[in-house]
Structure 1
Amino acid sequence: MSHSLEQTFRQDLREQLAYFEKETSELLRKAYPDLAKRDAIHALVSKYCDHIYGYLNGDILGEIDECVWIGSVVTIIDEIDGTEERYKIVLPHEINADLGHISFLSPLGSRLLLAHKGDRIEVDSPSGSYGVMLFEAAYEK
């Protein structure tokens, strides 16, 4: 990875931490009236923030394209029919279905966040449960 992409990535992570520090309580309160679901999403956000701190502090090395971050473009393969789909994992206010930008809070996005290449992901969606394999993850600005 180029030095400038590394700097951009680090800056994006710092901005994400600031976003979560400011917005998490309100986001959870508005989006998740169900307390159990709210607690699960809060745990996901906390785990993600811990991962960011680990990366910024140098405790986690070389994971920019090995794991799924907010800002990663992922390619997944459906277990049943083998079709490939590409999505970009984004913050809720950046969703754009036409561009394939899905929230990290969506059923698929929340399961992909922090997943690693080759992981099998089981997704519980309103239309039922399904499995996918994370084929590729690449951070993009």
Structure 2
Amino acid sequence: MSRSLTETFREHLLEQLAYFEKMTSELLRKAYPDTAKKEAIQTLISQYCDHVHSFLSGTITGDFDSMAWIGSYVTVVDDMDGSEEKYKLVLPHEIDGDLGHISFLSPLGSRLLLACKGDRIEVDSPSGSYGVLLSDVSYELSA
């Protein structure tokens, strides 16, 4: 019997909550010696976990493909040149540039997390600020 996409999505959210419960302190300690950055990332993780809890409890309803979650595929359009890129938002240990898997902690990933299809996003990166449009969001079953 195959599981539905909704069941798989809910299972992945539960796995993410377990990951954050176990790994947040270690992740922050290793990756962010700067206190201000550490606090911003802690806030991002807390907001995401709160959102996940709300979705799982039924407080937030609707199509989960309209918002960017960890595990979502996102298509962004660059404001300057109109170029389009597709990425998958992933946990830090799942980064794979060749596959377009970017960490939700990266400058772009952190701005995309929980953004909705159609949102314009301003990204501050080490190479400067730039804007993108979140043109598509999808959550697909893993192969």
**TM-score of the aligned structures, taking structure 2 as reference length:** 0.95
Residue 91 of structure 2 corresponds to residue 117 of structure 1: no
Could you say which residue in structure 2 is the equivalent of 1:37? 37
Structure 1 runs of 4+ off > 2 angstroms?
none
Aligned-residue sequence identity (percent) comes to 69
Task: Read off the aligned partner of 1:8 and give its amino acid letter.
Answer: T
Q: Distance in 2 between matches of 1:28 and 1:111?
A: 18
Task: Read off the aligned partner of 1:45 and give its amino acid letter.
Answer: I
Q: Distance in 2 between matches of 1:3 and 1:97?
A: 29
Count of aligned positions: 140
Give 3-state SS (helix, strand or coil) of 2:66's partner: coil
Could you say which residue in structure 2 is the equivalent of 1:61? 61
Q: Distance in 2 between matches of 1:85 and 1:119?
A: 15
Task: Read off the aligned partner of 2:113 and give its amino acid letter.
Answer: L
Give 3-state SS (helix, strand or coil) of 1:65's partner: helix
Could you say which residue in structure 1 is the equivalent of 2:6? 6
**TM-score of the aligned structures, taking structure 1 as reference length:** 0.97
Spell out the pairing of 1:40-119 with structure 2 (5 A cutoff): 40-119=40-119
Structure 1 alignment gaps of length 5 or more = none
Give 3-state SS (helix, strand or coil) of 1:117's partner: coil
Q: Distance in 2 between matches of 1:138 and 1:58?
A: 20
Deviation at 1:72, TM superposition (A): 0.3
Q: Distance in 1 between matches of 2:112 and 2:41?
A: 13
Task: Read off the aligned partner of 2:86 and give its amino acid letter.
Answer: R
Any idea what the Cα deviations from partners look like across 1:52-110, whole Å, max 9, x if unmatched? Answer: 00000001111411100000000000000001000000000100000000000000000
Structure 2 alignment gaps of length 5 or more = none
Residue 26 of structure 2 corresponds to residue 26 of structure 1: yes
Q: Distance in 1 between matches of 2:54 and 2:138?
A: 19
Q: Distance in 2 between matches of 1:54 and 1:77?
A: 29
Any idea what the Cα deviations from partners look like across 1:105-127, whole Å, max 9, x if unmatched? Answer: 00000000000011111001110
Deviation at 1:3, TM superposition (A): 6.4
Superposition RMSD on alpha carbons, in Å?
Answer: 1.2
Task: Read off the aligned partner of 1:94 and give its amino acid letter.
Answer: E
